[in-house]
Structure 1
Amino acid sequence: MIEIISDSEKYRAAWDKYVNESSSAAISHLWGWKNVMEKGLGHKPIYLTAKDGGRIVGILPMALVRTWWNTRYLISLPWIDYGGICADSADVIESLNKRAVAIAREHHVAFVEYRSINSYEMDMPTRRDKVTFRLNLNPDFNVVWNGFDAKLRNQIRKAEKSGLTTELGGIELLPSFYKIFQWKMRDLGTPVWGYKFFESILTEFPDSAKIILVKLDKLAIGGGLVLSFKKILYVPSAASYNEHLKYCPNHALYWNVIKMGCEQGYEQFDFGRSTWNSPTFNFKKQWAGEPIQLNWQYMLVGRKELPSINPDNPKYKLFIKAWKKLPLFAANYLGPKVIRNFP
């Protein structure tokens, strides 16, 4: 008989053992994201474990998001591209989903959102406006290099000829990266994720979360967050100063992480999510070819329609235009307070 329990810190080792042994587990299923959601974003984590005869047969990490306008969501998981139910069978998936919906009703939640590459064979509305790109790696990085078209190789060479260098490190590099990231987010008209959020990721995953900086002489002009899980490397956040884009710092960043991945035996590089046919979509497509569909599935509890936070919506276009005009100090102060409402 399947038993669903709410987990506490004492179950962390057993939870992560299941994640590391499961072929269907994603990076976001690691227990450490529970602490990131709580300490870095201020969301209430709700972690469910399915057991059968004392053996873990499924897990579901979620975060309860409360907005300032008093709407509530259950998300698996905010910010990161992957999440949802990881389970051994369809029966376990159904049991975990049923408990999630019950919890959603208890907390008067509008909807439960599962983010995943996979889709569940249940009657759930699905958003398919997001994709990711994954590049297959090789122990010989020249094999990967030869798979790029001439234009991409020339842009990477331009970064090298411009004298750009990269530095990989831990939390000590966060201030330099975050300074660039803050500026870039304001330039895009997007509220910035908080410094504390990135700090919590680097603290929680000291061995698998790193910062990479791209430097022109000694000046950091670009940077990114690098994560690893099993045989996959991820760069979910990256930014560069516009005035230095002529040196191709983004190409230097991605190519150096890809080379590192090849040399260290990783099998894939994940570029992070993009909206179909957006500028970031087109940039990533030149590296990795065909997009991989992301499926965001919903259990609608307190509403009848799918949520729609779309930059093409006229009201969001106005918000983006206004945010770009904010003084940098105001955007940096308000950003983390605003963005946590839009997971």
Structure 2
Amino acid sequence: MNLHRLTSHNDAAWDAYLRQQPSALPQQLAAWRGVLEATYGHRTHYLFVTERDEIVGVLPLFFIRSTLLGKKATTMPGGLCANDAVVARALLDAAQEAAQRFGARTLLLHDSRQRWPDDRLRSSSDHHARLIALGSSEEAMWGALQSNVRRQVRIAQRNGLTATLDRSGATLDSFYGCLSRFAHAMGTPLFSPRFLQEVVSAFPDEFSILTIHYHSRHIAAYFQLELNRTVYGMWGAAERETLELRPVYLAYWTLMVDAIGRGFHTLDMGRSPNASGAAQNKAQWGGEERPIYQQLLPLTADSRPQAITTQVRHNPAMRYLRRLWPRLPYPLTQQLGPRLRRHVPFA
């Protein structure tokens, strides 16, 4: 078993490994290194293990120097991906050593779909993902839905809502506008337009942007990535004052129809807090609920490991900022948001 640090020479082999792993996420692909470095200037330290010249595990690690939250060592969403616990431990050992050299107080396996059995790790699961198995045809999928969900989709259509899917990036600006207005109202600083541009450039054949229209107005928009015959919901927003028109129902149904038509097997609706309104709404569509884990490794004797979302929630300055954010002028939040988001790019 040999340990390596990823270079561009190994990008194709790294991605080929992930394309064979059912638990892999799009955020673990090698091109995210460039997105992080170009957008935020974060230093990446992607690790992989080989046996007989074949990759058997990967860990996409990066480091954050934050004046708000200190030095952080964290993986991309999805954590590590490995053939077995022995490989996972070897990756974790190497990541721990690199994180300690950086001066981080904790190491986070972020949004892992698997709970790795290592006594050093402190695990929590406050979120879950909902996976919808797609039918063999649009008709079969429609018949499998609850009658109430079908009714809500019909209401959206009768209300005059329409949907368009873009795979060229032409609607990137309008998507960002919809998402940024939603984030402002919710008190959440948002990443920059450049971040999305870098994602589209990194994955030109694996993204889509869905827009819901009400006459000439864009009232909802969703961004997806694709991996292993699964469509992953990444970011989305709907104008709150238009929810009675049922844009969210039409959006999910449109994604399902499109995915079925292109031979995809699963729609991953993205993560939701446990027992939340968002989780209940997604549960109407059926499917399977899968836990998402935050696994933290303390690196110093006095460290008090907490997931980044927990740190943000309990940090007095961040709590105040969340209350203040919707009251700030929208143009100002567009300037400040990306600077703040650098400290918590995926929380």
Common fold by TM > 0.5: yes
5+ residue gaps in structure 2?
none
Q: Is the 8 A contact 1:40 1:200 kept in 2?
A: yes
Q: Distance in 2 between matches of 1:139 and 1:38?
A: 40
Residue from 118, 124, 131 that aligns with 1:122: 118
- Local SS of the residue matching 2:108: strand
Residue from 288, 299, 302 that aligns with 1:301: 299
Deviation at 1:150, TM superposition (A): 2.7
- Local SS of the residue matching 1:277: coil
The more displaced of 329-338 and 210-219 is: 210-219
Deviation at 1:225, TM superposition (A): 0.3
1:261 aligns with 2:259: yes
The more displaced of 97-106 and 45-54 is: 45-54
2:85 equivalent in structure 1:
90
Q: Distance in 2 between matches of 1:68 and 1:308?
A: 14
1:228 equivalent in structure 2:
226
The more displaced of 232-241 and 284-293 is: 284-293
Q: Is the 8 A contact 1:171 1:203 kept in 2?
A: no
Deviation at 1:193, TM superposition (A): 1.8
Give the TM-score normalised by structure 1.
0.92
Q: Give the 3 Å change call, closer, same or farther, for CA 176–24 of structure 1 in structure 2.
A: closer
Deviation at 1:18, TM superposition (A): 1.8
Q: Deviations 1:194-239 (Å, cap 9, x if unpaired)?
A: 2111111111101111111111122211111011111111112111
Deviation at 1:282, TM superposition (A): 1.9
1:326 equivalent in structure 2:
328
Q: Distance in 2 between matches of 1:195 and 1:308?
A: 23
| Matched AA of 1:262 | I
1:210 equivalent in structure 2:
208
- Local SS of the residue matching 1:246: helix
- Local SS of the residue matching 1:341: coil
- Local SS of the residue matching 2:284: helix
Q: Deviations 1:78-108 (Å, cap 9, x if unpaired)?
A: xxxx422222232211111100000011000
| Matched AA of 1:214 | I
- Local SS of the residue matching 2:46: strand
Q: Deviations 1:122-148 (Å, cap 9, x if unpaired)?
A: 111012101111111012122222232
2:133 equivalent in structure 1:
136
Q: Give the 3 Å change call, closer, same or farther, for CA 312–100 of structure 1 in structure 2.
A: closer
| Matched AA of 1:10 | H
2:148 equivalent in structure 1:
151
Q: Give the 3 Å change call, closer, same or farther, for CA 102–280 of structure 1 in structure 2.
A: same
Give the TM-score normalised by structure 2.
0.91
5+ residue gaps in structure 1?
none
Q: Is the 8 A contact 2:112 2:294 kept in 1?
A: yes
The more displaced of 14-23 and 165-174 is: 14-23
- Local SS of the residue matching 1:270: strand
Q: Is the 8 A contact 2:35 2:199 kept in 1?
A: yes
Q: Deviations 1:30-77 (Å, cap 9, x if unpaired)?
A: 111221222233322211121234332221111212212461112111
Q: Distance in 1 between matches of 2:308 and 2:5?
A: 30
- Local SS of the residue matching 2:9: helix
2:173 equivalent in structure 1:
175
2:339 equivalent in structure 1:
337
- Identity, in percent, stands at 25
Q: Is the 8 A contact 1:186 1:328 kept in 2?
A: yes
Deviation at 1:295, TM superposition (A): 1.2
1:102 equivalent in structure 2:
97
Q: Distance in 1 between matches of 2:276 and 2:314?
A: 15
Q: Give the 3 Å change call, closer, same or farther, for CA 192–49 of structure 1 in structure 2.
A: same
Q: Distance in 2 between matches of 1:317 and 1:145?
A: 42
| Matched AA of 1:325 | R
The more displaced of 313-322 and 324-333 is: 313-322
Q: Distance in 1 between matches of 2:308 and 2:55?
A: 35
State the aligned residue count.
Answer: 338
Q: Distance in 1 between matches of 2:175 and 2:308?
A: 31
